[in-house]
């Protein structure tokens, strides 16, 4: 009993063996049980981080892992334990505020997760028990239960599909919530259980399922079902992903299905995919940490100086123990080193406000609230998909303003991914226009071939297009016989837009695919007759093979294999003499930027088919290495084929993708295109979207230039050395010191393909090629644009990692729209997904998602630029205002015998960062636009001004630090000189030390707030409200705090101090004068800058002298003539 309850608590912790055995419906197999029943986790989904019991300890632990929070905790404890000059409240309250705000935010987010979990866990499901339907909560489902799901319901766990309301045992499913693909996918019931479509029939089933242990890949599943029947041999059938219905997917167009639960709760594929992405950190955070260390050093040095000078001062007995303040016996007897240590700690506490604890919470709020501006941006809203931009990670907003390298996918990112059938070629004849019965549909193609192919070859080709695919038909109306009408009353659905384009292309030429029924594919041919083909096997497409095949049987009993795929994977598998005539067309189409596929076939004898059938079934039944075994059978089957022809499909460029790439180039970013497409197709797309200009000199490292011989590594070495010499050794060093100066000289572009890349990244052991990678990298970094074609998804990530880890760690951005781009999106500093037609996996795994590639321009040039400027200003301002705050406190120690006497009242110490100066900078960091958004978008070169973390370098940091030090000195000594006249009141009374501190504090609050007002370029009502409101609140609070006798205070040292202080005219004059002196250098700088900008604009608009104009013209024209002759 105890063990069972323990195993239920530790859901999913059971020992993972290679496979698991599931008993369908918990009906024991008739033979004696030979296996031990395995324990599985329940069907609860837990996506939350905290529970009611562990929220406090866990959340506090996570927050105190932050260095600033931990530091303030230590200071607070020191204040509690040691007799320090300031109250523990001064550091405890700001820390408590920061911790509470963060805990509330995280607690609320987790509460939302709990609520979502409960909705799923408490939803009702129907389970078949004892031939009856029983309603249960979803979390009560156990592995082995038979579950009934009705139309438009989501699957409560991962089920093996046993039977459905449709006779052929199929059902349609959408997996939008899993991978974002909204198209319908067809799933198939186990062949021998399709007839069991009532509660009684399904309950009578005796079977076991053996399958692999849970793993996160949505598209992989390996298992087998063994069905037991009385007095008969058990039947074994293989199970694959087509038999598995995933939790989170929705049943469509099918009344009901029965399935058996195989994975539940946290072991479902959906839950295993719910992994938090690796935490990406922005460059700004690294700068903050560096600045913190500097300020920590300042703090330590201040405390050390004061402690040392205190003991120097006390070496004089009169200073050490004046007659009015004699030491107690205990004080005399304490150990001197211990006394020095406690003094050091006391000074640390006194000056600790130089470290801004509230900066972290302000930065968090700025990032969180700032990210809404991206989602609210109307220009990034797409009418077609009715969606706007989406922010998945608000931690990286400012990183968008620092990007140096952009890696983009081609299909669906630069192009529309809406395919249109353009033309095809059959046996070397080009066919472009629609077919007519008289003359076929051939067209002459220059010097290539006249006439047309034989009629039988044309028909064979079109049948291949109609049969070799996984397209499904979705009828517009559930009425039989509509398909027969000439106008189409149905739509094609498929996971790939290419396939639909090819089926529609065949329809244009008279062959129409009518759908799949009971394993028979129906086609209507040119003479309006319906042909039937029995579908025996589908050899599915995969990115490694880059092709797919079907095996069909005609009504006359002929066995045919049709195969379509990329030319690189088809050409080696057909008769060599057939290639040349088709290759000419394929190359020409690729040059025009079309996507090409080759089509081949072969006839099988019964004997050959039986062998293939046996091997395929054996491979399908394997539980271990099923993929490898299947791949081997596919390899053997798809050999010695005959080439029939090729197709060309156009994928149009997305609107404004060329303008976007030009803008990114102008902003100093390097754009790399990483695609799985053919080199020629990709190259023409790159010219079309202006990645390569007509003047760009292209360097190629492809299978064509390297060659296929044994010497390819030597040839690669030669090419690398040649390009290296051309780009690095022969180009004179840039003296101008201009950032990203490659935009000035001759532009180079590099083209590399997957096979050459693997030679460079994974060289063979014996070759002397360990430095290939470095040479290749140097060449890449010198090129304006790089095109990598024929890339596997993992190679895309390798390239991003290679650039990311180069010297200087440039900020990288990856943008893509398909599942094959996820690896590079996760690898780059900033990952952007496009909400495209290839599903939503990319946008789910990205940091930001946008509807179209063109939106990248505004996201980087406007939003990124502004976010960076705002947060950089926020960070510098926080350090500056805290230095202004603490420097007078440090200087005060020289005038009070280093007695650790605080200059400011405890209330002021506590409220300075929380109330008096926090809101103006938060409003600034959310709303500031130092340059208009339209100007930023239209002038990309402005982006370069803030590149390379320009505003958080040591130079601006030192400027802000000196400014803070200057103002701190003005505040303190200005008030000090005011106090040289001892009686500041008419009646000759003298102001005390609390008045001194309050005057300094008043000047401080007004100066740092007005400094921010001077920096603000974009005023809104909110800026006015928080800036003037903060100052008014300070004045109101000071009157209120000093105007009431507070019962909880031991000493009323601030009683009427503020009100009394303002009765003196000298004080008013001093406050105004000191604010002006503090801000004078800043005002002077602004005036000079404005004069300089005005002069610059005037000279820009003046017409230059005649000679220089003529010279400019001649230069321009000569440049043009040079580029054209190139």
- pLDDT tens readout for residues 534-559: 988 888 877 667 789 999 999 998 99
DSSP code string of 422-454 = EEEEETTEEEEEEEETTTEEEE--TTS--S---
Token pair of 30 as six digits: 């008739």
163 sits in which H/E element? strand 158-164
- Is the CB of residue 400 less than 8 Å from the CB of residue 863? yes
Span of 490-499, 521-530, 646-655, 753-762 with lowest mean pLDDT? 490-499
Mean pLDDT of 691-696: 84
Per-residue model confidence (pLDDT) at position 447: 40
pLDDT in tens, 491-516: 887 767 788 889 999 988 889 999 88
Outline where DSSP puts E strands in 218-348.
223-227, 235-239, 244-245, 250-252, 256-263
Q: Read off the pLDDT of each residue in 691-704 and give the average, rounded to a whole number.
A: 84
| Catalytic status, residue 152 | no
**What pLDDT score was predicted for residue 1106?**
39
- Give 245-278 pLDDT, tens digit per residue: 998 888 988 889 999 999 999 898 877 765 445 5
Which one of 158, 343, 377, 409 is the catalytic residue? 409
**Strand-pair category, 415-426 with 642-653:** antiparallel
pLDDT level of residue 479 (50, 70, 90 thresholds): very low
| 306 pLDDT tier (thresholds 50, 70, 90) | very high
Highest mean pLDDT of the ranges 265-269, 810-814, 977-981: 810-814
The whole-number average pLDDT for the span 57-66 is 86
d(CA 160, CA 562): 30
CA 299 – CA 347 distance, rounded (Å): 9
pLDDT greater than 70 at residue 83: yes
Mean pLDDT lowest for which of 2-6, 525-529, 924-928, 950-954?
A: 2-6
- Cβ-in-10-Å burial (0-12, 13-18, 19+) of 1000 comes to buried
pLDDT of 1021 higher than 90: yes
Q: Are 165 and 257 in contact (CB under 8 A)?
A: yes
CA separation for the pair 567, 578 (Å, rounded): 13
Is there a contact between 376 and 932 (Cβ–Cβ < 8 Å)?
A: no
| pLDDT surpasses 90 at 891 | yes
Please give the Cα distance from 71 to 97 (Å, whole number): 15
Over residues 909-938, the mean pLDDT reads 92
Q: What is the distance, to the nearest Å, from the Cα of residue 352 to the centroid of all Cα atoms in its chain? A: 38
Query: What is the spatial distance between Cα 987 and Cα 1093, in angstroms, rounded to a whole number?
Result: 54
- The average pLDDT across 904-926 equals 91
Q: Of 165-179, 342-356, 740-754, which has the strongest mean pLDDT?
A: 342-356
pTM of the model: 0.74
CB-count exposure of residue 540 (10 Å: 0-12, 13-18, 19+): middle
Of 515, 462, 467, give the one whose Cα is nearest residue 488: 515
- 771-780 own/partner pairs: CB under 8 Å, 24+ apart: 772/716, 772/717, 772/720, 773/802, 775/720, 775/721, 775/724, 776/701, 776/720, 777/802, 777/803, 777/806, 778/724, 778/727, 778/728, 779/699, 779/720, 779/723, 779/724, 779/727, 779/728, 779/750, 780/750
Structure tokens at 324: 């009015």
| Average pLDDT for the chain | 82
Of the two residues 170 and 1113, the one the predictor is more confident about is 170
**pLDDT at residue 478 greater than cutoff 80:** no
């Amino acid at each position: 009993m105890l063990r069972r309850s323990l195993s239920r608590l530790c859901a999913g912790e059971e020992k993972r063996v290679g496979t698991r055995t599931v008993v369908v419906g918990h009906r024991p197999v008739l033979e004696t049980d030979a296996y031990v029943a395995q324990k599985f986790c329940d069907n609860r989904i837990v996506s939350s981080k905290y529970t009611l019991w562990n929220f406090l300890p866990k959340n506090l632990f996570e927050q105190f892992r932050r260095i600033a929070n931990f530091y303030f905790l230590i200071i607070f404890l020191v204040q509690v334990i040691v007799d320090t000059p300031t109250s523990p409240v001064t550091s405890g309250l700001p820390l408590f505020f920061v911790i509470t705000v963060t805990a509330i935010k995280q607690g609320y987010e987790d509460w939302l997760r709990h609520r979502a979990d409960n909705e799923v866990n408490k939803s009702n499901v129907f389970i078949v028990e004892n031939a009856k339907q029983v309603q249960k909560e979803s979390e009560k489902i156990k592995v082995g239960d038979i579950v009934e799901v009705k139309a438009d319901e989501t699957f409560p766990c991962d089920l093996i599909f046993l039977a459905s309301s449709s006779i052929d045992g199929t059902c349609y499913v959408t997996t939008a919530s899993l991978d974002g693909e909204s198209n319908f996918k067809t799933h198939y019931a186990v062949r021998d259980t399709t007839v069991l479509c009532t509660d009684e029939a399904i309950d009578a089933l005796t079977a076991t399922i053996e399958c692999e242990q849970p793993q996160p890949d949505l598209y992989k599943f390996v298992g087998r079902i063994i069905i037991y029947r009385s007095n008969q041999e058990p039947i074994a059938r293989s199970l694959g992903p087509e038999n598995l219905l995933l939790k989170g997917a929705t049943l469509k167009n099918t009344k009901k299905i029965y399935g058996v639960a195989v994975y539940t709760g946290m072991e479902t594929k959906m839950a295993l995919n719910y992994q938090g992405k690796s935490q990406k950190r922005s460059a700004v955070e690294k700068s903050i940490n560096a600045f913190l260390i500097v300020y920590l050093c300042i703090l330590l040095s201040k405390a050390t100086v004061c402690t040392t000078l205190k003991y120097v001062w006390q070496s004089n007995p009169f200073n050490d123990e004046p007659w009015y303040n004699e030491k107690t016996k205990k004080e005399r007897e304490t150990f001197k080193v211990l006394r020095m240590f406690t003094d050091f700690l006391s000074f640390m506490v006194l000056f600790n406000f130089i470290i801004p604890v509230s900066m972290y919470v302000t930065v968090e709020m700025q990032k969180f609230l700032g990210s809404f501006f991206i989602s609210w941006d109307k220009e990034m809203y797409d009418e077609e998909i009715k969606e706007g931009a989406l922010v998945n990670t608000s931690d990286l907003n400012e990183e968008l303003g620092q990007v140096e390298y952009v890696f983009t996918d081609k299909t669906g990112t630069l192009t529309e991914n809406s395919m249109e059938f353009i033309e095809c070629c059959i046996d070397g004849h080009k066919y472009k226009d629609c077919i007519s019965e008289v003359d076929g549909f051939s067209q002459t193609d220059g010097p290539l071939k006249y006439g047309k192919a034989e009629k039988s070859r044309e028909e064979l080709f079109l049948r291949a297009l109609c049969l070799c695919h996984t397209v499904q038909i979705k009828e517009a109306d559930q009425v039989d016989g509509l398909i027969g009408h000439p106008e189409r009353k149905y739509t094609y659905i498929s996971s790939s837009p290419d396939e639909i384009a090819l089926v529609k292309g065949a329809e244009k030429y008279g062959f129409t695919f009518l759908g799949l029924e009971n394993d028979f594919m129906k086609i209507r041919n040119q003479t309006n007759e319906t042909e039937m083909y029995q579908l025996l096997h589908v050899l599915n497409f995969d990115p490694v093979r880059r092709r797919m095949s079907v095996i069909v049987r005609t009504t006359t009993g002929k066995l045919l294999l049709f195969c379509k795929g990329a030319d690189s994977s088809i050409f080696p598998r057909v008769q060599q003499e057939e290639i040349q005539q088709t290759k000419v067309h394929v190359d020409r189409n690729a040059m025009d930027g079309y996507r090409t596929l080759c089509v081949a076939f072969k006839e099988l004898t019964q004997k050959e088919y039986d062998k293939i059938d046996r091997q395929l079934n054996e491979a399908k039944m394997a539980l271990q290495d099923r993929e490898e075994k299947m791949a081997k059978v596919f390899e053997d089957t798809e050999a010695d084929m005959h080439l029939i022809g090729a197709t060309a499909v156009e994928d149009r460029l997305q609107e404004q993708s060329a303008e976007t790439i030009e803008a990114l180039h102008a902003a100093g970013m390097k754009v790399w295109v990483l695609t799985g497409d053919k080199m020629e197709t990709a190259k023409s797309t790159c010219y079309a979207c202006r990645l390569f200009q007509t003047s760009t000199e292209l360097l190629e490292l492809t299978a064509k230039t390297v060659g296929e011989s044994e010497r390819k590594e030597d040839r690669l070495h030669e090419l690398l050395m040649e390009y290296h010499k051309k780009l690095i050794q022969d180009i004179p060093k840039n003296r101008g010191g201009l950032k990203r100066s490659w935009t000035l000289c001759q532009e180079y572009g590099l083209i590399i393909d997957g096979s050459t890349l693997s030679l460079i990244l994974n060289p063979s052991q014996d070759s002397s090629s360990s430095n290939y990678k470095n040479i290749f990298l140097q060449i890449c970094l010198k090129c304006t644009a790089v095109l990598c074609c024929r890339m596997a998804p993992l190679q895309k990530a390798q390239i991003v990692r290679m650039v990311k880890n180069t010297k200087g760690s440039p900020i990288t951005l990856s943008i893509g729209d398909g599942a094959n781009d996820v690896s590079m999106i996760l690898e780059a500093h900033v990952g952007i997904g496009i909400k495209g037609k290839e599903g939503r996996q990319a946008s789910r795994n990205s940091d930001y998602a946008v509807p179209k590639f063109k939106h990248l321009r505004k996201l980087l040039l406007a939003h990124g630029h502004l976010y960076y400027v705002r947060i950089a200003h926020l960070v510098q301002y926080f350090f500056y205002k805290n230095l202004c705050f603490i420097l007078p406190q440090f200087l005060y120690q020289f005038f009070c015998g280093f007695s650790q006497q605080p200059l400011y009242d405890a209330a002021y110490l506590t409220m300075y960062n929380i109330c008096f100066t926090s809101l103006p900078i938060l409003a600034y960091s959310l709303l500031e636009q130092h340059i208009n958004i339209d100007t930023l978008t239209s002038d990309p070169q402005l982006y370069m001004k803030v590149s390379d973390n320009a505003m958080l370098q040591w130079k601006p940091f030192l400027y802000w630090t000196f400014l803070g030090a200057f103002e701190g000195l003005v505040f303190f000594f200005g008030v000090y000189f005011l106090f040289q006249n001892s009686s500041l009141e008419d009646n000759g009374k003298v102001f005390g030390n609390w008045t001194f501190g309050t005057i300094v504090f008043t000047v401080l609050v007004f100066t740092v707030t007005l400094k921010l007002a001077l920096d603000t370029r974009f005023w809104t009502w909110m800026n006015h409200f928080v800036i003037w409101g903060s100052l008014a609140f300070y004045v109101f609070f000071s009157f209120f705090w000093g105007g009431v006798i507070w019962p909880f205070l031991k000493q009323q040292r601030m009683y009427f101090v503020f009100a009394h202080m303002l009765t003196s005219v000298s004080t008013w004059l001093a406050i105004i004068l000191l604010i002006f002196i503090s801000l004078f250098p800043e005002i002077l700088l602004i005036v000079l800058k404005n004069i300089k900008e005005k002069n610059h604009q005037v000279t820009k608009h003046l017409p230059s002298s005649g000679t220089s104009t003529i010279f400019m013209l001649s230069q321009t024209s000569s440049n043009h003539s040079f580029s054209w002759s190139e």
